[in-house]
Amino acid sequence: MADSRRRLFIALASALGVLAAEPLLFGLQLPRPEPRPYPDGHAHSIPPNAGDPGVPKRKVVDRQNQIQIREDVAKLYEMASELKGEIERSDASSTLSVSLVKKAQQIEKLAKEIKNLAKG
């Protein structure tokens, strides 16, 4: 019984010690250093003419991309539907014609363009 009391006392004392030392430990944190200015006056990650009014804003470019993506997706859907119809009309036992293969390549190319536009 004395052993369990000793363990309880040690646990309580250590918990109180942690709670008492917590404000002191947070007060000893080092302040963050001030950011240094760039040698040539601007960040290299930001284009030098980013603040110019002549440069299109990011939102405008994104909006144009969204419009272009929607138009391309509609065109892709139309091309894929045409290809599906042509394949259904063709003989299943014969080989595919060159025109079908070219149309499939055009669909693939358009899909890649849409993917690149979506990435930004």
Domain layout of the chain by residue ranges: 2-43+56-119
Please give the angle made by the CA atoms of 82, 84 and 90, to the nearest 5 degrees.
Answer: 105
Predicted confidence at residue 112, as pLDDT, reads: 93
Q: How many residues would you count in the chain? A: 120
pLDDT of residue 113: 92
SS3 74: helix
CB-facing half-sphere around the CA of 55: CA atoms within 13 A: 9
Give pLDDT, residue 62.
Answer: 82
CA 70, 72, 76, 77: dihedral to nearest 10 degrees? 20
Q: What is the pLDDT of residues 57-101, one digit of tens each?
A: 667 778 888 889 999 999 999 999 999 998 888 877 777 788 888
This prediction's pTM: 0.49
Residue 53 has pLDDT above 60, yes or no: no
pLDDT at 111: 94
| Residue 9: per-residue pLDDT | 76
The confidence band for 108, taking pLDDT boundaries of 50, 70 and 90, is very high
SS3 assignment, position 94: coil
Burial of 80 (0-12, 13-18, 19+ CB in 10 A): middle
